Structure 1
Amino acid sequence: MKKSEARQLLEEARTAWDAEDWLRSAELHEQLLAHFPDEKASGVWWYDAALAHKFLRNWSKAYELGREAAARAPRGEGDPAYWNLGIAATIQRDWTVARDAWTGFGIELPDGEGPIEAEFGPACVRLDTDGSREVVWIQRLCPTRGRVVNVPVTGGRRYGEIVVHDGEPKGHRIFGGVEVPVFDELLLFEPSELPTLEVTVAAADVADLKALLTLFTDHALGAEPASAVRTLCACCSEGTHEQQDTMTSGAQQVSLAAPEDEARRLLDRWAAETPIGRSWSGLVSVG
């Protein structure tokens, strides 16, 4: 291929990129790279091709091309080629490559092999299922995986599932004076076996309601009162918002993540601790 033809291919690839025609842009980049895999600018071309396939959620291609991009990127300097490879390798469950990618980016990981199960702190993830969008809290297990620690109100989603999220924050939440990022979900990585239930509870005081939540949390289960759920428009959701305690007393719906028998046992225990002011009824399964 002549240099003039290569320049034309690159120009067409960039035009397709600007139009967000990711498939066309990726194809043109790959045609270019088939002839010029190791030019001075090739690392950028490999990265763009891999990123286009990431946008397409073609994880096998993002992984394949991402390895080429990372091989041409400097290590330990926060190069995004390593981050995108870390995501793709995680989704492909190639833990050796994922670990090397995060290290190449400059992240210190605990020693070990296989899935990374570390403490990367809290964050939020914007779930996206069939057009429904909901921001939930997660406990990050690695730079791109997190375990959901809310009971989602979105149908089909569950407390305790593990999701893979993107690396660029789209909004922030402030809780207890600490600002945490809100990431977009890329995919559901590992489902949860805990069913979602709904129950009507009567709590004379907010402290009674919080006691119920603590009781379920202490048993590695979930509880989410309706009064704690806040609705934001899409634009506001991507801004910075302080997470406020909006729980109220009185009768309200509470979403639970627990086996039904265990939920009944804990609800009875909670109600019996303070016979006046605490009660529950109408426990049903919703997913």
Structure 2
Amino acid sequence: MRIFGRVRQRPSTDWRLATNRAFSLIDDGRYEDAGELLTRAADLEPWLAESWFNLALLHKFRHDWEAARAAGLRAVALLEKDAGAPDWWNVGIAATALQDWPLARRAWQAYGLRVPGVGGPAGSGEPLDWHLGGAAVRLSPDGEAEVVWGRRLDPARIEVLNIPLPSSGRRWGEVVLHDGVPRGERTTTAPGGVPAAGRPAVYPVFDEIELWAPSAVPTWVVLIEAATESDRDALERLAADAGYAAEDWSSSVRLLCRACSESRMPTEEGDGLAVHDPHDHSVPGHPGPLGHTAAGGLWSPERECGIAAPRSLVRGLLDGWVADSPDARDWRDLEEVC
């Protein structure tokens, strides 16, 4: 096969050695050294799409999106098949990071997805408005990882709908850029989440790459006294009606070891978008059998809650919640944590 006037051959031994060594360095976090080797490999075999795919992958790890886009485009120019190549997916992620919407549309379409708005009246320069349903994203995947639920805006972005724990450094309503290959799944058998009788709905868990759009809404932690679950639910409804969020972390957060977090785990009844679908905080060791379930059993009136609301609103929201049923509700120790 001739590509750009030359006969295509198998990659040389030097190319394979440089590439294998580069990925060993990537595993050790030595991106600069890996970059030198992958650049050398691309110089040795510039006709090989994999040379540029590997460079694009490295630049994605480094969050160097301009370089990732350039290398990705060189890779797809050398592809032999029209659709389904991961090279196009990497181009789509880089284009999304750069808000290069015409290229993002082209990439997803070339990968084989049906992209809304391609050639439509909105214009290819408009942001994607895809809404692919519920999914989960692992925040801080290389640190104190936490899996939260969100709404997929397109193949590379998720809007966070849980209130993350402060250790993640993320807030409710933020949009994160995520990788394309899931690492784990969550299942539910709730009526709203069953695609066919007897089969649970399965939601992928994607790893966050970086924050794409921050939220100006701070996260607060507060201890509440709620006589019943209905009292707790009333606070969450009140926050939602105000356009913000409250979440009973005592019920919604469960502790998982990393291995379990990255496997297929059942969740509570829900549709992957509900507040009480548990989100997971991962730890290196196995937390034991009690760590694999959200808090349950007998109702405890004292609850630790996360609230996402502006400083000017949060105290009034809590006071209004108490005023509706003062004998059954109270709060204390409000603190801004993120």
Q: Which TM bucket (shorter chain)?
A: 0.7 to 0.9
The residue type equivalent to 2:245 in the other structure is G
Report the CA distance between 1:117 and its aligned residue. Answer: 2.5
- 1:107-126 deviation per Cα after TM superposition (whole angstroms, max 9, x unaligned): 12221333213211111111
- Compared CA separation, residues 129 and 50, structure 1 to 2 (3 A): closer
Residue 64 (structure 1) aligns with: 70
Is it true that 1:256 corresponds to 2:320 in the alignment? no
Is it true that 1:275 corresponds to 2:299 in the alignment? no
Residue 163 (structure 1) aligns with: 176
Is it true that 1:217 corresponds to 2:223 in the alignment? no
Alignment of 1:1-287 (within 5 A): 7-17=12-22, 19-21=24-26, 22-33=34-45, 36-37=46-47, 42-73=48-79, 77-111=83-117, 112=122, 113-128=125-140, 131-155=143-167, 156-175=169-188, 176=190, 177-227=200-250, 228-244=252-268, 246=294, 248-287=299-338
Report the CA distance between 1:279 and its aligned residue. Answer: 1.7
> 2: CA distance between counterparts of 1:239 and 1:4?
40
- 1:177-196 deviation per Cα after TM superposition (whole angstroms, max 9, x unaligned): 42101111100111100011
Judge which range, 7-16 or 102-111, deviates more: 7-16
The residue type equivalent to 1:45 in the other structure is S
Check whether the contact 2:38–2:51 (CA below 8 A) recurs between aligned residues. Answer: no
What secondary structure sits across from 1:231 in the alignment? strand
The residue type equivalent to 1:7 in the other structure is S
Structure 2, gaps ≥5 residues long: 1-7, 27-33, 191-199, 269-275, 277-293
Equivalenced residues, count: 281
Q: Aligned residues: percent identity?
A: 37
What secondary structure sits across from 1:19 in the alignment? helix
- Compared CA separation, residues 90 and 74, structure 1 to 2 (3 A): farther
- Compared CA separation, residues 129 and 52, structure 1 to 2 (3 A): closer
Higher relative CO (CA 8 A, sep ≥ 6), structure 1 or 2?
Answer: 2
Structure 1, gaps ≥5 residues long: none
- Compared CA separation, residues 265 and 23, structure 1 to 2 (3 A): same
The residue type equivalent to 1:88 in the other structure is A
Report the CA distance between 1:25 and its aligned residue. Answer: 4.0
Q: Please, what TM-score do these two structures have when normalized by structure 2?
A: 0.76
- 1:79-121 deviation per Cα after TM superposition (whole angstroms, max 9, x unaligned): 1111110001111221111111011111122213332132111
Q: Please, what TM-score do these two structures have when normalized by structure 1?
A: 0.88
> 1: CA distance between counterparts of 2:236 and 2:78?
50
> 2: CA distance between counterparts of 1:172 and 1:226?
21
> 2: CA distance between counterparts of 1:9 and 1:191?
44
Judge which range, 68-77 or 83-92, deviates more: 68-77
> 2: CA distance between counterparts of 1:272 and 1:57?
49
> 1: CA distance between counterparts of 2:84 and 2:141?
31
